[in-house]
Amino acid sequence: MHPSDLLFALTTRRLVAIVRGQDADAALDTVLTLVRRGIDLVEVSLSGTDALRVIEKARAVLGPDALLGAGTVLTARDARRAADAGAAFTVTPGVTEAVAESRALGLPVLAGALTPTEVASAVAQGATAVKLFPVGPGAVEWLRALRGPFPQVPFVPVGGIDALMARAVLAAGALAVGVGSPLVGNAADGDPTGLHDRIAMFRSLGVAAS
């Protein structure tokens, strides 16, 4: 995936679903359910059980063009293993060595940053977009503050964002949002209760592209 492809996907999808869980089979089922219900930009966190295997299996089922990435990529080794597993992009929680390694591997990267210094560092290291993390309840205000000195940086706020906050953050100028448990719930741990309803809610609020 070229960086411009990830930017296009973020612009058109507006929602990155974050899947992490302790049941690899359930995590895989969750990824496939999200994609089949139209939430097709998905990050599988390496903090989950057998996450690389989940990525490999999802890639095998979904094919080479699936918008499937690896999250919680901390080290250069993580980036290499994610690429080998079939990740099309990486997501880091901070500005780590994984950013430069991902770019060296030809992978676009959503680099985690929160402060102005971190944002500037992420951009300097070649981040495709900046994962504004962790934003919490002050997401809208923090995004607006950072867009002043960084008007051209594509921001993707992540952390504690539910459907209503996602809509507000997008209205404030975020390129997209990253959402984990408010969308996925416990599905990746083996309890899919309510997953379809939550997907429908995010789409009905205009957060995820229809």
Q: What is the dihedral of CA 35, 91, 50, 161, to 10 degrees?
A: -60
Instruction: With beta carbons less than 8 A apart as the criterion, state whether 28 and 188 touch.
Output: no
Which of 60, 62, 14 is CA-nearest to residue 41?
A: 14
Q: Which of 57, 97, 118, 131 is catalytic?
A: 131
Q: Which amino acid is at 46?
A: L
At residue 172's C-alpha, the angle toward residues 166 and 176, to 5°, is 50
Q: For residue 57, indicate whether it is catalytic.
A: no
Q: Give me the active site residues, please.
A: 43, 131
